[in-house]
């Protein structure tokens, strides 16, 4: 018990714990839609894209969250636009847009070497440096995104299931996709400080993939994915404190470990799932 | 097999529900349909037939605003259809393979999607929505499967689920892309019977089919397309199913089996094939 209470005595740990739990739940929520749309790579790509935006906003003196968020949102819209050209697939669109955006950040850093150290935090996370202001931003993003998913639940579900058909039934799919891109960009910006650019994709993909192994019910998938994400965020923080490990990496490794256990157990127990290729799950 | 519904008089009104004027459309620079014109009166039940690659599905997708228009005009229910403005109050049944059947939703979840624009802002169903969904599932005979995951449904059940999703919003136009493909005889007849009922209730229906003998021959009106994506004939089956039209449509000679007693094409309720290629006819000694 003392092992749990001791770190809570530190303000930085309390902030970090709250941030990791909220970001875990948030990524778990949006990750369900990302995984079901077969766009797992978008988390990885957008986080790199946002990094470019963070560098640019630093250079022109903009607020980090505003600049990086806007850059991420525009990148997501651009990916959607390129994907809709049919001849370029979603994976290629993500690769083109986001790596170009990341390259902008890298090029600018190489030009202005003075602030390289600041961006190491963005790349690998700096959860122990989460301030009250950061926590307020993360909380706000979590509440707004969760409310938006609640209100747009039916439209988002139909668009995720089949965007083309949803449009013929009167669902404003372009607005739904734009809203989702905005929510995803905001989530990635909020998560940057917690897990870092390089590990955000894991926070988005592993919780819903784990939850998908144990349920076929969409509502339960959302709840379970959020729960796994939040649990891994909080649990990972304690593990990183006890074993003195990098917190972002510990969170991702814990989530991966849970995924491995659930995968093994369900694989052995359920012959039907065993017959399905993993990519279908 | 002819359903009782087919024997009732239909209520086709003269006002057109669908008007396609000199439409050329396609994906990219190459047109799929060239200079196609078509008028479907309100309440009509139209079957689109033709060989694979004739552009039947494209013609359906045009009605939904899903195919970029190069020139010409499409109006559905008085609305000019564009990609940004699909026609309102339309139910669409796509081909089964267009969706991911491993998606984690139940049959009821999928059917409810068809009612999305008519529902309130909350994720849950209102009492009225629940009543409508339940009545639709009951009509399709799949109420007992409501809680089943869609990947656990058979092909026939998936077809019915798609139909239920299209009907749950009470559409005035129903657009179906091969709704009986790979169905067994019972499912095929049930679906056709239901469509005939809807036709008699005044719903305008446009569907594609490859099944000339069992489906197309029973429909009130047919549009025949050839491999050049041109409309080569339209009218009731007894008028368009001639050896000349069928041969042009499929690019091979076809023979229509005649009733030995009266010399007319075999009745639509015949249990066996009425249209044969010359090779088939020779094989069975006709």
The A-side interface with B (CB below 8 A) comprises 36, 86-87, 150-151, 153-155, 157-158, 161-162, 164-171, 212, 215-218, 221, 276, 280-281
Q: Write down the pLDDT at residue A226.
A: 97
The DSSP result for B109-125, as a single string, is: HHHHHTTGGGS-SSSSP
Q: In the 8-state DSSP scheme, what is residue B37?
A: E
Q: What is the pLDDT of residues A201-227, one digit of tens each?
A: 888 999 999 999 999 899 999 999 999
**Nearest to B25, CA basis, from B36, B14, B41:** B36
Cβ distance of B149 and A216 shorter than 8 Å: yes
**Helix-then-strand count for chain A, H and E:** 13, 0
Does residue B113 sit at the A interface (CB-CB below 8 Å)? yes
How far apart, in whole angstroms, are the C-alpha atoms of residue B213 and residue B77? Answer: 31
Kindly list the residues from chain B whose CB atom is less than 8 angstroms away from the CB atom of residue A162.
98-99
What percent of chain B has a predicted confidence (pLDDT) above 70?
Answer: 84
Kindly list the residues from chain A whose CB atom is less than 8 angstroms away from the CB atom of residue B113.
154, 157-158, 161, 166, 169
Tell me what ipTM this predicted complex has.
Answer: 0.81
How far apart, in whole angstroms, are the C-alpha atoms of residue A71 and residue A55? Answer: 10
The DSSP result for B6-41, as a single string, is: HHSPP---SSEEEEEEEEEEEETTEEEEEEEEEEEE
The residues of chain A scoring below 70 in pLDDT are: 84-88, 112-124, 198, 271-281
Angle of CA points A187, A101, A27, to nearest 5° = 15
Q: How many domains does chain A have?
A: 1
DSSP-based three-state secondary structure for A202: helix
Does residue B85 sit at the A interface (CB-CB below 8 Å)? no
Cβ distance of A161 and B112 shorter than 8 Å: no
Q: What is the pLDDT of residues A179-191, one digit of tens each?
A: 998 899 899 888 8
Q: Which of B105, B173, B177 to mutate to test the interface with A (most CBs of A within 10 A)?
A: B105
Q: Which of A164, A169, A175 to mutate to test the interface with B (most CBs of B within 10 A)?
A: A169
Cβ distance of A169 and B113 shorter than 8 Å: yes
Kindly list the residues from chain A whose CB atom is less than 8 angstroms away from the CB atom of residue B112.
154
Angle of CA points A96, A173, A38, to nearest 5° = 45
Six-digit token string for A149 = 């998913």
Q: Range of A33's domain?
A: 2-280
Q: Write down the pLDDT at residue B49.
A: 92
Contact, A254 vs A201, CB < 8 A?
no
Q: Which residues pair with B224 in a beta bridge?
A: B49, B233
Q: Write down the pLDDT at residue B3.
A: 39
How far apart, in whole angstroms, are the C-alpha atoms of residue B20 and residue B1? Answer: 33
Query: Closest approach of chain B CAs to the CA of A76, in angstroms?
Result: 20
Six-digit token string for A241 = 């404190």
DSSP-based three-state secondary structure for B158: helix
Cβ distance of B104 and A36 shorter than 8 Å: yes
Query: Closest approach of chain A CAs to the CA of B61, in angstroms?
Result: 10
Contact, B77 vs B87, CB < 8 A?
yes
Q: Write down the pLDDT at residue A86.
A: 60
Q: Write down the pLDDT at residue B97.
A: 82
Within 10 angstroms of residue B58's Cβ, the number of other Cβ atoms is: 21
Please name the member of B100, B104, B117 whose beta carbon is closest to the beta carbon of A216.
B104
Q: Write down the pLDDT at residue A107.
A: 84
**Nearest to B134, CA basis, from B111, B157, B155, B154:** B111
Q: What is the mean pLDDT of residues B247-264?
A: 69
Query: Closest approach of chain B CAs to the CA of A20, in angstroms?
Result: 28
Six-digit token string for B137 = 């599932």
Cβ distance of B103 and A153 shorter than 8 Å: no
Q: What is the pLDDT of residues B55-108, one digit of tens each?
A: 899 999 999 988 888 889 999 988 888 877 888 889 999 998 888 899 999 999
Does residue B125 sit at the A interface (CB-CB below 8 Å)? no
Q: Which of B100, B104, B117, B177 to mutate to test the interface with A (most CBs of A within 10 A)?
A: B104
Kindly list the residues from chain B whose CB atom is less than 8 angstroms away from the CB atom of residue A164.
66
Contacts 24+ apart (CB under 8 A), A91-97: A91/A41, A94/A39, A94/A41, A94/A42, A94/A45, A94/A46, A95/A41, A95/A45, A97/A45, A97/A49
Q: Which of A29, A84, A153, A165 to mutate to test the interface with B (most CBs of B within 10 A)?
A: A165
Q: Which of A38, A146, A147, A168 to mutate to test the interface with B (most CBs of B within 10 A)?
A: A168
**Nearest to A52, CA basis, from A31, A75, A82:** A75
Kindly list the residues from chain B whose CB atom is less than 8 angstroms away from the CB atom of residue A154.
112-113, 116, 119, 123
Q: Taking chain B, what is the end-to-end CA distance rounded to the nearest angstrom?
A: 23
Does residue B149 sit at the A interface (CB-CB below 8 Å)? yes
Within 10 angstroms of residue A195's Cβ, the number of other Cβ atoms is: 31
Cβ distance of A212 and B151 shorter than 8 Å: no
Q: Write down the pLDDT at residue A278.
A: 42
Q: Write down the pLDDT at residue B286.
A: 53
**Backbone torsions φ then ψ of A82, nearest 5 degrees:** -65, -40
Q: Write down the pLDDT at residue B214.
A: 75
Within 10 angstroms of residue B266's Cβ, the number of other Cβ atoms is: 18
How far apart, in whole angstroms, are the C-alpha atoms of residue B68 and residue A14? Answer: 55
DSSP-based three-state secondary structure for B25: strand
**CATH number of the domain to which A55 belongs:** 1.10.3470.10
Q: Write down the pLDDT at residue B203.
A: 93
How far apart, in whole angstroms, are the C-alpha atoms of residue B281 and residue B286? Answer: 5
The mean pLDDT of chain B is 83
**Backbone torsions φ then ψ of B264, nearest 5 degrees:** -100, 165
Six-digit token string for A195 = 């897990």
Q: Write down the pLDDT at residue B279.
A: 62
């Amino acid at each position: 018990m003392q092992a749990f209470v001791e770190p809570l005595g530190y303000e930085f740990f309390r902030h970090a714990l709250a941030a990791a739990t909220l970001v875990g739940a948030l990524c778990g929520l949006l990750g369900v839609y990302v995984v079901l749309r077969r766009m797992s790579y978008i988390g990885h790509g957008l986080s790199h894209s946002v990094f470019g935006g963070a560098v640019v906003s630093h250079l022109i003196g903009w607020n980090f969250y505003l600049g990086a968020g806007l850059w991420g949102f525009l990148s997501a819209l651009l990916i959607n636009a390129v994907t809709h050209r049919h001849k370029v697939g979603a994976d290629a669109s993500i690769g083109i847009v986001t790596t170009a955006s990341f390259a902008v950040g890298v090029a600018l850093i190489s030009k202005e070497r003075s602030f390289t150290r600041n961006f190491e935090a963005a790349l690998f996370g700096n959860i122990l440096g989460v301030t009250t202001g950061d926590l307020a931003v993360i909380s706000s993003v979590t509440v707004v995104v969760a409310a938006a998913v609640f209100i747009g639940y039916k439209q988002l579900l139909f668009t995720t299931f089949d965007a083309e058909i949803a449009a013929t039934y009167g669902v404003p799919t372009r607005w739904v996709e734009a809203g989702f891109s905005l929510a995803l960009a905001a989530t990635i910006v909020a998560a940057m400080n917690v897990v870092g650019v390089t590990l955000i994709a894991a926070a988005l993909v592993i919780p819903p993939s784990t939850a998908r192994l144990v349920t076929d019910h969409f509502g339960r998938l959302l709840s379970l994915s959020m729960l796994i994400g939040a649990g891994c965020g909080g649990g990972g923080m304690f593990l990183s404190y006890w074993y003195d490990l990098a917190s972002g990496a510990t969170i991702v490794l814990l989530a991966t470990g849970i995924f491995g256990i659930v995968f093994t157990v369900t694989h052995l127990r359920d012959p039907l799932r065993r017959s399905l290729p993993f990519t279908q799950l | 097999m002819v359903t009782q519904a087919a024997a009732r008089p239909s209520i086709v009104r003269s006002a057109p529900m669908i008007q396609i004027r000199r439409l050329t459309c396609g994906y990219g620079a190459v047109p799929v349909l060239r200079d196609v014109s078509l008028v479907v009166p309100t309440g009509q039940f139209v079957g689109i037939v033709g060989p694979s690659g004739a552009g039947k599905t494209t013609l359906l997708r045009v009605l939904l605003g899903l195919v970029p228009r190069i020139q010409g005009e499409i109006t559905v229910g008085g609305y000019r259809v564009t990609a940004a403005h699909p026609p309102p109050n339309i139910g669409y049944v796509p081909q089964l393979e267009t969706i991911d059947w491993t998606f984690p939703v139940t049959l009821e979840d999928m059917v409810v999607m068809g009612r999305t624009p008519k529902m309130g802002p909350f994720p849950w169903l209102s009492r009225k929505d629940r009543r409508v969904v339940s009545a639709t599932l009951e009509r399709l005979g799949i109420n007992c499967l409501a809680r089943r995951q869609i990947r656990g449904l058979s092909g026939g059940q998936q077809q019915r689920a798609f139909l239920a999703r299209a009907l749950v919003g009470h559409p005035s136009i129903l657009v179906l892309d091969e709704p009986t493909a790979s169905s067994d005889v019972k499912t095929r007849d049930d679906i056709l019977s239901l469509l005939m009922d809807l036709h008699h209730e005044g719903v305008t229906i446009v569907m594609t089919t490859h099944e000339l003998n069992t489906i197309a021959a029973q429909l009130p009106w047919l549009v025949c397309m050839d491999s050049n994506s041109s409309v080569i004939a339209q009218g009731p089956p007894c008028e368009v199913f001639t050896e000349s039209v069928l041969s042009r449509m499929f690019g091979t000679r076809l023979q229509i089996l005649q009733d030995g007693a009266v010399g007319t094409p075999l009745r639509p309720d015949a249990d066996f094939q009425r249209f044969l290629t010359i090779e088939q006819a020779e094989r069975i000694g006709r």
